[in-house]
Amino acid sequence: MKYLYTLFILLSMTSIFFSPADKHELNELSFTFAIGLDYIKDGYEVSVQLINPAAISGNAPTQNSRYIVYKASGKTIDTALERVSVNISRFVLLSQVDVVILSEKLAREEKIQEVADYILNSPQIPSNAYIVIARGINAGELLKVYSPVEGTSAFEITNIIKKIGRDIPKTSSQIKVDEIKEGKDIALPFIEIIGDLKKGQENGNFETTSPSHIAYGGLSLFKNNKLTTFIDYRDGAYLSLLQESAAGFTIEPSCPNRENGYFAYRVFSNNANESNIEIHEDKYIFHFDLRLKGDINQYHCNLNLDEPKDVEKLEEKVRETINTKVQELLKVSQDNELDPIGLGLMLSEDNPKEWKKIKEEWPSLLNNAEIKLNTEISFQHLGNFKSGSD
């Protein structure tokens, strides 16, 4: 934990030295890296996770918690934050906030754009702070979970989101860009608690080999500013794949020749782009070119990988699996009349005249949309596999 304390001090001193002269002294400030927002009937309940330097320094034993979570409510986020500040002896510094957590209930109340606007207009909270959804749990309760790896849930959540990579992490700036461009609905990462919540909020969570912990669950999909549904992280990878990312995940096709086995194709490079859009009366066909490179890491099929024809059969099974998953993703979009892929955005950029005619009906017109893939698969490393029966 000493490296966390060193980082904390460096950030603290930087904020002091590069702030106006009328700012407060370091020993008058409390630092936070995460804010939680929950829904109440007439506004917001805001939770602030304040770091306790004495507990994480490692210089002397202490029974104090590594952090403290304060909460207060108000009609606006600002009002609630003011009430949090009144409850403690120090000034709350928000300039180091890395992540803003919204509860599922708040996200279903059409508050996402309001929160994004607040962060963009706030002189305190960085506009590049990640926005994530807490599924099935209040944001304030999630902040109380002890992280056995990072120490605080703020660091845990931030590192989880950064580790995901791809095109998933979202900030208020990215949300506003999607809103301004039109034709693409919001997709935000969601996190959840694995294990018992109550045990995860106790110090004993550091002392067990099976701790309760925070995990990335997948994507939360929005329609008209309102959380509508979730897709798990495996399905979310195929959404990222269409957006020229999603390297570093595994596709698990079944074996050719009607076998019961499977093999694992690990993608480490992806080059994707939309090639063209066909319009036939009220039918919209979106073409994507995908260029994937990867390795076979596990193999349970009765084919010899020294034979080029057998390798071609595996390539075809990877293409079939990708196409099936993308069509399932399109079906989710059609059933919920939302467009996280950004097909409407593609149409607006490719054919502005057509988009102007139909944009008021989009994405309900997704029922008339098709996605066709032209997928090129490359195996960089086949391993020493010859036959799953050997």
Please state, in angstroms and as integers, the Cα–Cα distance from residue 69 to each residue in 72, 84, 200, following that order. 10, 10, 14
Cα angle, residue 83 at apex, residues 80 and 88 outer, rounded to 5°: 135
What gap in Å lies between CA 197 and CA 214, rounded to an integer? Answer: 10
Q: Which two tokens stand for residue 382?
A: 């086949």
Cα–Cα distance measured from residue 309 to residue 311, given in angstroms and rounded to the nearest whole number: 5
Contact partners, residue 177, CB within 8 Å, separation at least 6: none
- Taking only the tens place, the pLDDT of each residue in 180-197 is 788 999 999 999 999 888
Q: How far apart are alpha carbons 327 and 200 in whole angstroms?
A: 38
Does residue 12 carry a pLDDT above 60? no
Q: Cα torsion for 310, 314, 317, 318, to the nearest 10°?
A: -160
Averaged pLDDT, 242-263: 82
More confident residue, 178 or 220: 220
pLDDT at residue 168 in the model: 67
pLDDT tens, residue by residue, 305-336: 888 899 999 999 999 999 999 999 999 999 99
Residue-wise pLDDT tens digits, 105-114: 999 999 999 9
pLDDT band at 272 (very low <50, low <70, confident <90, very high): confident
